Structure 1
Amino acid sequence: MTRIAPLLAATFFAVLPAYAQDGGADAAEDDKSILENFLQDNLSAAGRTVTVTGFRGALSSQATMQRLTVADDDGVWLTIENAELDWTRSALLTGRLEIDALTAERIEVARAPVAVSDGPQPATSDFALPELPVSINIGEISADSLVLGEPLLGMPVELSLQGSGRLEDGAGEAAVTLERIDGQTGRFSLSGAYANDTGMLALDLDLEEGRDGIVATLTGLPGGAPLAFTLQGTGPIDDYTADLALATDGTHRIGGQVTLDRTDPAAPMAFAANLQGDPTALLAPDFQDFFGDDVQLAVEGQRAPDGQLDLTTLDISADALQLSGNAVVAPGGWPERAQLTGALASQSGRAVRLPIGGEPTWVDRADLSFDYDAARGDDWRAEMTLDGFSRPDVQIGRATLVADGTLTPGGDGAPPAFGGHVELTATRLGGPPDSAAAALGPDLTGRFDLARTSGEVLAFSNLDLGGSDYRLTGDVTLDTVVEKLDLVAEGAVTLTANDLSRFAPLSGQALTGAARLDIAGNAALPGGPFDVDITGSGQDLGIGIPEADRLFAGASRLAISASRTAEGTEIDRLDISAPGASATGTGWLAADASQIALRLDLPDAALLADGLDGPLTAQATALQRGRDWDLALDASGPGGAQITFSGLAETRKRGLVRISGESSGSIDRLAAWSNLARRDISGSARFTASGDFRPDNGRFSVKGTANGQDLDFGLGTADRLTAGASSASFEVRRNKNGVFIVDQFSLETPELSLNAKGRAADEMPRITFDGRLRDLGPFVPGLPGPLTASGTANLTETGWRVKLTGDGPGGTALDVSGRVAGDVQSADLGLKGRAPLAMVNGMIAPRALSGMAAFNLRLDGPLELGSLSGRVTTDGARAALPTVGISLDPLDATIRLASGQATLDVSADVSSGGRVRLRGPVAL
């Protein structure tokens, strides 16, 4: 209400002079064009935009306004609807502003406004009400509904508002009552009065809330207990006492008094506060032992008219905490005396759990002291010890901090100055393997010098912090900009780590090697503009990936220059160089308009993959347009290899939702990749592809084509299949249910055509295929003609179930069905069919066979002859033996296979006369 009521009044009264100048009735016709614009222009300011609609009745005793909104850079934060001013105009003639009612139907405060600094504030002064040329009397200030948005209190709240106020001849009084009307119990009332001539101050504050009220929710009060708080006091401000009390569940918890005392207006104002009580009911059970059932706070001191503060007593007492001290602070804010001692330890001697959020934190004991008194000299000293600090992610056996130096308040033209030296140690430091504490090692030491003069700059020099094989050294200054709550850091530090493996568990990478980083620049903390240069060197850097580690073996260098302003972050330079690789980049990072460019050069691709030979280069760019990113990649490698990609990455509030794009590539000389393939290959190839991927559900689709010329894979006769021009096309996708589908795959060469499709659900593929070989003759001499085959293959939990049929020249027929193990090392297959005996003539020339062989076999076991069983018979067979001038016709043969041997039964008529017969087993 400190903002809302004055804004309402200013809205109504700011318009009166301008409205009167415009002639009353004539101006009434132009309320919107003149009055509302006038209000908006005069009430708006830097960081505040006021919009007024529906203003009526400026010269009547009742003025109304339909709607008023106040916005800052983040949008509208205050909305007032259906406001009305009921006032007595004639009272102005006697120097009085009489307002019968200033009301609004609804006021909504969505959040706190963005703070806008008005610069340094003037020095404090004694309290007094303003002396105005007119008296002000407001009979009623009210709102039927005052809505406070969730960002203000962590929950939405709706209240009613009633109030009144009076200011006349340096005396004033005000009253306001807020009551919840959203189904919860809660009431806040405040009444106060003060008169300049008598100095009498009356203050009465009363807060009552039911269970799960605002205060209980914000403070985490156990059980959301009902709460009551009162603050009451009446008397001269130079001899004033106020009593306060806090109760929950109807039981008094904490109470005390605040007093002000001054004997003369020119004398210092003495103040005191004494609070005492049992806060255990206000605390979570884990924190009750720290405070105990008797907590006391005592503060006494005085403030001189020139602003000097003398805090004579500060005592805080709880079960596990004792803190006492005193201080004198000069008008300029520099201490003339400061003495503080404290101890944190349980009276039972057990470890103390600290009353802080997050992971449970325990301390065996802590002690601190600070001592400075300008009356004794300029020297100051501070000491702190901490024993048995423990929380899940860090344990410290003992930590000490010792600091001393000089402090001069200044005076007689000399500026104040502060300086000192700090030494700190931590021993028996530890934590889980992947914690920062474990990475720092068991012992940590540090030291640095402090200095500050009359300005706002605090200098940290000769910084030296580290463990057994790492150190952070350098100099840093902090410049405080009080009105902006900024801390500007500037300096240069060096981080040296001789063994990066100590940080491996923390980073989640198998870090190895040594590194040094030099960091220089400035930054506004926290999270403000910065300008920083980083240079560094490394030796045998590694991340546990052999291919990457080989690139950075030996000495490496790093250089980064980056800066951030209100518009965005600019990476002017990114250079990483090592014997095996170099990378460069630039970037501009801004909301919805970022740009990134990177280049990677490998002088010898063999470091990346054994068998490659020659340089490899890649360039990538990313350009942000709103929520989406345009991506591009261009890479080249051995054998004239080229690959390009252009695509789009689409993001939404939930993150990356889709990547789509097109890619093309070629390899002019496949022979350059022979060592990688572990065989001699040759020819050339090129491809094109397009597709998209949705990371939220794993869906993707890819389709493309590939072309080859004179492909040779070192497979001997089989390479005839890919001689000349070859082409392939494919369409592959994965649906939202996780099913992998090959909609189409085709391969065409002068000798071979192959088509396949399939799908895989739960990692169980099913493939259907058919193919045609133009001429079997080059592979089986004497058996020219086409060969066709088709079949299916289904992957099950025990392996592949296959079914294949084929037809070839000379009556060749094949039917295969059964199971092949997943590792393709064994099978259980039935093989039936017929084949011309002439298919073996190439292996027995000049001898020759004719006729057919019929087979009915089973392969059960490893893929070798010993696993075969069944029968092979001849039909119309004849053998020609030209070297001995005879032939065998007819030739009848039956071969039975079983248990690793073949049992032969062969008989034939000899052309020169007679008959031969061969019977018996042959081991396979």
Structure 2
Amino acid sequence: MRIRRPLIVRSAVGLVCVALLGLVGYGMVGGSGENQQDVLASLVSRTLSTPATQVHVGAVDGVLSSDATVRDVSITDKDGVWLTLDKARLVWRRSALLLGRLEIDRLEIGTLEIRRKPLPSDQPVAESDQPILPDLPVKVQVKAFDLRALTLGQSILGEALSVAATGNTELGSPAEGLVFNLDAIRKDFPGRFKAALAYVPQGNALTLNVTLDEPAHGLMSKLGHLPGEPPVTFAVGGQGTLDSFRGALKLQAGPTIDATGTITLDRNGAGRVLATRLTSHLGPLLPAIAAPVFAGETKLDSTTRIGDDGSVALNGLTLTSRLARLDAKGLLGADKMMDFAASIRALPSNGDVTETDHGSIRSLVFDSHVNGPIKAPTASVKLALSGAHLPDGDVETLDASVTALPRAEASDPATRIILDANLRASGIAARDASSGGRDRQHRIARAPRRYGPRRPRQDRASRDRYLHGSGDLYR
């Protein structure tokens, strides 16, 4: 089963845009020929319909050449209606087309409700060769945008959400510049997101400002699984040119998570170099095995080259704390071939042992590598841990490795992925909080049946435990 078209965001945005562009196109030809509802239904259906999806347009009111409204649009699948739009109004100037502009004085969206995720199609859906939106040889200017309510059902993000937004934009060729402003406010819970982007060709001037402000138990803290769901504030902004940009970033998520730093973008030969320097406290965001060694202050330095040919080279990314270091580098070529590697090493703090506030580790080595076509890369991970005494338990030695090799596009649910996994461990003792912190021996029960047929074996002399699994994974 393969899902291509009925994607939630694409459907919602495409629904509104195609319907309104249908109004524009119909207004440009003077409103003759097919009736208005048939034209819009045809445009929306061509873009969004699948064998499992039906699109309905209720009515079209007003003068298409200046002020028109489309009403009661819905999308259904075999379980019923999953998306509705009560109305969308377009106020525009047809005469501006003579000056090479699609000039919209006001774009009003009523209530756009996405109740749930659409059902997948029962049969493969072929990609359409037609673009979602036509290429218009004009500059698009929306002077005022007003979304009364975007409502998402609980099943989409894990909680119900209602957002209102206003803004404006100017889109055209790069030579004509770019303006984008958005101000979104939650209606059902405190929270605000603002974005402002402006690019002026004269002088290559670029200005960026993005802010987010949410109280405790907000959407970002839940989506990010932040401990305790703290309040979150985020800001990134700067100004300059595309060849010399200077910006700053600041993140605060409760008392234990924060980051501040700078972002620069500079022209260098046939490309640009993006550099990031951050000082942060990110330990609570990391997995339990890595959080102790990255506790406290960490520093991040990264340099990325963005080639004019579309290639992206991570020349170096380093995240260091008092007790550990992470290094990453790699390349995504213009040919969409990738080769990235990352490693983590614990840094000794007392002789050859890394001592944390809540335990110690004699050695921690983590290596990962991803390479191959971007749509079907081979991935491998290796972990070696020894002498670990942590709040959750002890591990004398642990060596693990996993390799995944997709036989086709990894994003395709029908793709066969070949997995090979190995695990060797000894001296594992889980700390049982219910028994006053006493150690409890923990054994590997069996190999995952999904990945391989072999059962773990035990070396009676060393009491080591081994696990090997290999096989195919079908999603």
TM-score of the aligned structures, taking structure 1 as reference length: 0.38
- Give 1:270 deviation, angstroms: 1.8
1:11 aligned partner: 19
2:35 is the alignment partner of 1:61? no
Other-structure match for 1:467: 457
Do 1:398 and 1:428's aligned partners in 2 also have CA atoms closer than 8 Å? yes
Cα distance in structure 2, aligned partners of 1:59 and 1:49: 25
- Could you tell me which residue of structure 2 aligns to residue 241 of structure 1? 246
Q: Deviation of residue 60 (structure 1)? A: 4.8
Cα distance in 1 between the residues matched to 2:112 and 2:25: 27
User: Which consecutive unaligned segments of at least 5 residues does structure 1 have?
Assistant: 122-129, 355-360, 373-380, 404-421, 441-459, 477-488, 490-524, 528-924
| Identity score, percent | 24
Cα–Cα, structure 1 residues 235 and 6, in superposed 2: closer, same or farther, change >3 Å? farther
Instruction: Report how many residues are paired.
Output: 412
Aligned to 1:314: 317
Partner residue in 1 for 2:194: 189
Partner amino acid, structure 2, of 1:385: A
Residue pair 2:354, 2:362 contacting (<8 A) in 1 also: yes
- Kindly indicate whether residue 88 of structure 2 is the aligned counterpart of residue 83 of structure 1: yes
Change beyond 3 A, Cα 1:224–1:331: closer
- Which of 232, 236, 243 is the equivalent residue of 1:231? 236
Q: Is the 8 A contact 2:349 2:355 kept in 1?
A: no
Aligned residue number for residue 216 of structure 1:
221
Q: Could you say what secondary structure the match of 2:213 adopts? A: strand
Distance 1:351 1:108, change over 3 A: farther
RMSD: 4.9
Cα 1:273–1:390 shift into 2, 3 Å: same
**Shift of residue 9 of structure 1?**
3.5
The question of whether the paired residues in 2 share the 8 Å contact of 1:139 and 1:165 is answered with yes
The aligned residue for residue 276 of structure 1 is 279
Provide closer, same or farther for how the CA distance between residues 246 and 73 of structure 1 changes in structure 2, counting only shifts above 3 A: farther
Give the counterpart letter for 1:386 in structure 2.
Answer: L
Deviation at 1:176, TM superposition (A): 1.0
Match status 1:437 vs 2:444: yes
Does residue 343 of the first structure (1) align with residue 345 of the second (2)?
Answer: yes
Which position in structure 2 is the counterpart of 1:385?
A: 384
Q: Give, in angstroms, the shift of residue 44 of structure 1.
A: 3.1
| Per-residue deviation, residues 234-255 of structure 1 (Å, max 9, x unmatched) | 2222222331111346999311
TM-score, reference length from structure 2: 0.68
Q: 1:439 to 1:272 in 2, by over 3 A?
A: same
Alpha carbons of 1:434 and 1:304: their partners in 2 closer, same or farther (altered >3 Å)?
same
Of the candidates 94, 99, 102, which is equivalent to residue 104 of structure 2? 99
C-alpha distance in 2, partners of 1:392/1:119? 52
SS in 2 for 1:46: coil
Q: Give the letter aligned to residue 141 of structure 2.
A: N
The amino acid that maps onto 2:68 is A
Equivalent pair of 1:39/1:52 in contact (CA under 8 Å)? no
**Aligned residue among 408, 423, 426 for 2:424:** 426
Task: Kindly provide the amino acid, as one letter, of the partner of residue 428 in structure 1.
Answer: S
Distance 2:161 2:11 in 1: 18
> Residues 382 and 391 of structure 1: is their aligned pair in 2 closer, same or farther, counting only changes over 3 Å?
closer
CA deviations on 1:532-556 (whole Å, 9 max, x unpaired) are: xxxxxxxxxxxxxxxxxxxxxxxxx
Identify the match of residue 365 of structure 1 among 342, 363, 366. Answer: 363
Q: Distance in 1 between matches of 2:202 and 2:11?
A: 28
Cα offset, 1:294, TM superposition: 0.7
- State how far apart, in whole Å, the 2-side matches of 1:341 and 1:288 are: 15
Match of 2:186 in 1: 180
Q: 1:151 aligns with which of 155, 159, 165?
A: 155
Question: Within 2, Cα distance between the matches of 1:275 and 1:172?
Answer: 29
Name the structure 2 match of 1:813: none
TM-aligned CA distance change 1:38 to 1:120, over 3 Å: closer
State the match for 2:397 in structure 1.
398
Which runs of no fewer than 5 residues in structure 2 stay unpaired? 1-8, 371-379, 403-419, 431-439, 460-464
Closer, same or farther in 2 for the Cα pair 1:430/1:211, shift >3 Å?
A: closer
- Whether 2:305 is the aligned partner of 1:302: answer yes
Residues 824-903 of structure 1 mapped to structure 2, 5 A cutoff: none
Cα distance change of structure 1 residues 249 and 397 upon mapping to structure 2, 3 Å threshold: closer
Q: CA deviation at 1:22?
A: 9.3
Mark the CA change 1:20 to 1:269 in structure 2 (over 3 Å): closer, same or farther: closer
**Counterpart code for 2:363:** R
Q: 1:235 to 1:397 in 2, by over 3 A?
A: same
Assess, with a 3 A threshold, how the Cα gap between structure 1 residues 400 and 93 changes in structure 2: closer, same or farther. closer
CA gap of 1:384–1:439, structure 2 versus 1, over 3 A, is closer
Give the C-alpha shift of residue 106 in structure 1. 1.2
3-state DSSP of counterpart to 2:222: helix
Q: 237, 260, 266: which is aligned to 1:261?
A: 266
In 1: Cα distance, 2:181 partner to 2:100 partner: 23
Amino acid at match of 2:245: Y
For the 8 Å contact 1:353–1:363, the answer to whether it is kept is no
Partner of 1:323: 326
* Structure 2: distance between partners of 1:474 and 1:430: 20
Amino acid at match of 1:173: V
State how far apart, in whole Å, the 1-side matches of 2:271 and 2:241 are: 15
CA distance in 2, matches of 1:233, 1:77: 40
Aligned partners of 1:37, 1:177: CA distance in 2, in Å? Answer: 31
Are the structure 2 counterparts of residues 55 and 206 from structure 1 closer, same or farther at C-alpha, using a change threshold of 3 Å? same
Query: How far 1:325 sits from its partner (Å)?
Result: 4.6
CA contact (8 A) 1:464 1:471 kept: no
By relative contact order (CA 8 Å, sep 6+), the higher-ranking structure is 2
Q: Is the 8 A contact 1:15 1:39 kept in 2?
A: no
User: Does the 8 Å CA contact 2:15/2:44 hold for their aligned counterparts?
Assistant: no
Q: Is the 8 A contact 2:275 2:301 kept in 1?
A: yes
Which residue is 1:166 aligned to?
Answer: 170
Q: Structure 1 residues 321 and 142, CA, compared in 2 at 3 Å: closer, same or farther?
A: same
More strand by share: 1
Q: Distance in 2 between matches of 1:362 and 1:7?
A: 56
Shift of 1:274: 1.6
Q: Deviations over 1:276-311 (max 9, x none)?
A: 123468799999744332111111132444555443
> What's the secondary structure of 2:444's corresponding residue?
helix
User: Displacement of 1:232 after TM fit?
Assistant: 0.7
Q: Which of 140, 145, 148 lines up with 1:136 in the alignment?
A: 140
DSSP-derived class of the 1:147 partner: strand
Measured after TM superposition, the shift of residue 473 of structure 1 is 8.8
